[in-house]
Structure 1
Amino acid sequence: MAVYDYLIVGAGLFGAVFAREMTDAGRKCLVIDKRCHAGGNVYCEQIEGINVHKYGPHIFHTNDRTIWEYVNSFVPFNHFIYSPLAEYQGVLYNMPFNMNTFYQMWKVKTPQEAMDKIAEQVKEAGIIHPNNLEEQAISMVGVDIYNKLIKGYTEKQWGRKAIDLPKFIIKRLPVRFNYDNNYFNDTYQGIPVGGYNKLIDGLLSGVEVRLNCDFFKNRNEVAGMANAIVYTGKLDEFYDYKFGLLEYRSLRFEHEVLGVANYQGVAIINSTDIKVPYTRTIEHKHFEFGTQSKTVITREFSDESSVEKEAYYPINDVRNEEILKKYVELSKLEQNVIFGGRLAEYKYYDMHQVIAAALKKARHILNKQPVGAYQAKLKTISV
């Protein structure tokens, strides 16, 4: 006889939100995770009194007031605004691409001058209908910015030539013709006060959690303990890779404690020169406006993925999409398994989108009725 209503595989945002909503609705949940900590990739490790984003920087941003109020009901968020810099051969440029960037690159001062400069370079490049990432990027910001601030970074990030990458990847990159260094346009932005662990602890309060528990090593034991499984791991792994591997880009991090109070003056600097092996340098204390006497920096390296490495960014090319379709069709046959989250759906999600998806799934299961702390407002949630 099942002991739990739901076995939730993965203690990241999707699993934690789903567990919270189901627990509040009177369902009994068991959350397991193969790591030694909950939180998935938003987990923070405290070093020298600084919350270090162990798996890369996470900046929460959303236009959805309901989602913002939901997360703030567990922990207050600060007012951190993401305004990164890009470094190319010792010169710093503002990100995202805006009038500050255009002035630094070309000394143009008005939006019209910047647009004319870009149009001139696009015309010289002969691009009318972009067919790949390189052509799409040039059509957006011109040749100079592409060569200095996009090409090297992108090819390091994806491990492929820009001409071999689909153009949709670069379309997410903001381009503005004003002097605004705010990377995101979203109304609500910030970092949990005290780090993301505070958010996860709130979501999982009163929920049974077992860490260092690998679902696939303990499948026979744990699968029968619940009426249904909520699976947030890799979709292809669930089916023992029977249709082949879904490809990802992985990441590698080098953390370093420095005996200075302020190393680079900003949370993130992208290294866009192809000759620099890492993609960016993160100084974590700036996420929470830290005043500690020391600082912690992280150099982030992009890497090819494998079964053994952590999967970060899905490679949504034609080959992988065809494999994905086969796994999705197979998953539809499952009677008591719910798939959710970026790995189980092989989809790039921002944090607010993961939370919204988990809330929608929980609401749908509970007879399509809103659940949780913001019952009336959850009707507005969309992904």
Structure 2
Amino acid sequence: MKKYDLLIVGAGLFGCVVAHEAHKRGKSVLVIEKRNHIGGNCYTRSVDGINVHQYGAHIFRTADKAIWRYMEQFCEFNHFVNSPIANFKGEIYNMPFNMNTFHALWGVVTPDEARAKIEEQRIPCEDPQNLEQHILSMAGPDIYEKLVRGYTEKQWGRPCTELPPSIMRRIPMRFIYDNNYFRDPYQGIPMGGYTAVMERMLESADIRLETDYLDDREGFDALADLVVYTGPLDALYGYEFGELGYRGLRFEHQLLECPNYQGVAVVNYTDRETPYTRIIEHKHFEFLESPTTVISREYPCDWKPGDEPYYPMEDAENRERYERYRLRAAQEEKLRVGGRLGEYRYYDMQDTVKSALSKAEEWLS
């Protein structure tokens, strides 16, 4: 069989960037992917002419001009700005917490009035031991009960009294009338969807889909001089040191015979009773006008091995367990590990690109 310079396990964003960088350096590359598509969780598919973010909303944003320019090799970005809204039992609030939010909550008009209201509501706590104490000490009960508690408890599957303050160490409170969720100067959605971006990154690589590296690791390793693994390390080593913890997600996609379902790309449902955390209406990412629309409801759920891992549970026990796996992997001469799962980190896309470029420079030079 053909021998390659590089075998990349996983066709997500990290693997795609490394594959492109390897090709630039004259390396031959084989990419294998367990799913039936490339793109990882950034994958988009066309439904009735609408690019659907199959695994949840992915908005590319960065403050690093070099990273933005790098991505522009593969796509043209539109001017989408993320301005989600929160729905608490039918009450609508702008996100992030800004003057529009404070006006809807309390009727305040000026930043001084908003600051005074928050100071009046705060329940001081010098050393918060959990997320509830932390939010109440920073913002008070109105913001906590209407905009934080229900959403966060659904997201993590635990009461806020059992979550560490680090889950929301900084509360994004802005005393300006600005609904732009991100402060990064560069923000947008690739025109034509993310899958087209990944196709361009991989255009010089050989690709095998529906191929599980763990089914024949020895055989796949023999195909290349170097192996880049982007999957979970606990699975790689048969859960030798125990399972790494994750929070799972389930998506419910629906094609609707209407031109506009909710008027915005993302609505967060912040009450505890609504079973999903948000609804995404995909056409608004690309300002599409059409007679139909596609929405996706996002349900957080418990995770078990075999499910798709989404959010790493980065508590002390899991970080310690991951470190044991990392040291185990570091002993293998031809193995390199990276990406969201390989590094057991919640990465934004810009973080993934930065990490992939840095590691490609290290591994391929």
TM-score by length of 1: 0.93
**Number of residue pairs aligned between Structure 1 and Structure 2:** 365
- Equivalent residue letter for 1:8: I
SS at match of 2:317: helix
Q: 1:173: how far off? A: 4.5
Residue of structure 1 equivalent to 2:249: 251
1:134 aligns with 2:135: no
Q: Deviations over 1:305-325 (max 9, x none)?
A: 111210000011122122112
- Equivalent residue letter for 2:161: I
Contact in 2 for aligned 1:7/1:30 (Cα 8 Å): yes
Residue of structure 1 equivalent to 2:79: 79
Q: Distance in 2 between matches of 1:225 and 1:133?
A: 48
Q: 1:206: how far off? A: 1.5
SS at match of 1:338: strand
SS at match of 1:246: coil
The equivalences for 1:159-174 within 5 A come to 159-171=157-169, 173-174=171-172
Q: Distance in 1 between matches of 2:196 and 2:130?
A: 41
SS at match of 1:7: strand
Residue of structure 1 equivalent to 2:179: 181
Residue of structure 2 equivalent to 1:31: 31
SS at match of 2:215: coil
SS at match of 1:364: helix
TM-score by length of 2: 0.98
Q: Deviations over 1:4-56 (max 9, x none)?
A: 11110000000000000001110111000000000000001111110000001
Q: Deviations over 1:108-163 (max 9, x none)?
A: 111111111111211xx342332221122223322101101100000000001111
SS at match of 2:169: helix
SS at match of 1:216: helix
SS at match of 2:139: helix
Q: 1:335/1:2 Cα in 2 relative to 1: closer, same or farther (>3 Å)?
A: farther
Identity %: 52
Q: Distance in 1 between matches of 2:167 and 2:187?
A: 23
SS at match of 1:264: coil
Q: Distance in 2 between matches of 1:18 and 1:215?
A: 18
Q: Deviations over 1:146-203 (max 9, x none)?
A: 1011000000000011111111111354221111100000010000001001110111
Contact in 1 for aligned 2:149/2:160 (Cα 8 Å): yes
Q: 1:218: how far off? A: 2.7
Contact in 2 for aligned 1:248/1:314 (Cα 8 Å): yes
Which contiguous aligned blocks of 4+ residues in structure 1 show a shift greater than 3 angstroms?
Answer: none
- Equivalent residue letter for 2:49: G
1:221 aligns with 2:219: yes
Residue of structure 1 equivalent to 2:106: 106
- Equivalent residue letter for 1:154: T
- Equivalent residue letter for 2:147: L
SS at match of 1:86: strand
Q: Distance in 1 between matches of 2:234 and 2:91?
A: 43
Instruction: In structure 1, list runs of 5 or more residues that go unmatched.
Output: 368-383
Q: Distance in 1 between matches of 2:61 and 2:25?
A: 27
Q: Distance in 2 between matches of 1:208 and 1:67?
A: 25
Q: Distance in 2 between matches of 1:134 and 1:72?
A: 41
- Equivalent residue letter for 2:115: M
Contact in 2 for aligned 1:96/1:173 (Cα 8 Å): no
Residue of structure 2 equivalent to 1:333: 331
Contact in 2 for aligned 1:9/1:215 (Cα 8 Å): yes
Q: Distance in 1 between matches of 2:229 and 2:196?
A: 23
1:119 aligns with 2:127: no
The equivalences for 1:296-311 within 5 A come to 296-311=294-309
- Equivalent residue letter for 2:145: N
Contact in 2 for aligned 1:2/1:224 (Cα 8 Å): no
Q: Distance in 2 between matches of 1:335 and 1:315?
A: 29
Q: Deviations over 1:206-255 (max 9, x none)?
A: 21111010111132321110011100000111111100000000100111
Instruction: In structure 2, list runs of 5 or more residues that go unmatched.
Output: none
SS at match of 1:355: helix
Q: Deviations over 1:291-311 (max 9, x none)?
A: 111000000000011112100
CA RMSD of aligned residues (A): 1.2
Contact in 1 for aligned 2:76/2:191 (Cα 8 Å): yes
Q: Distance in 2 between matches of 1:255 and 1:173?
A: 31
Residue of structure 2 equivalent to 1:286: 284
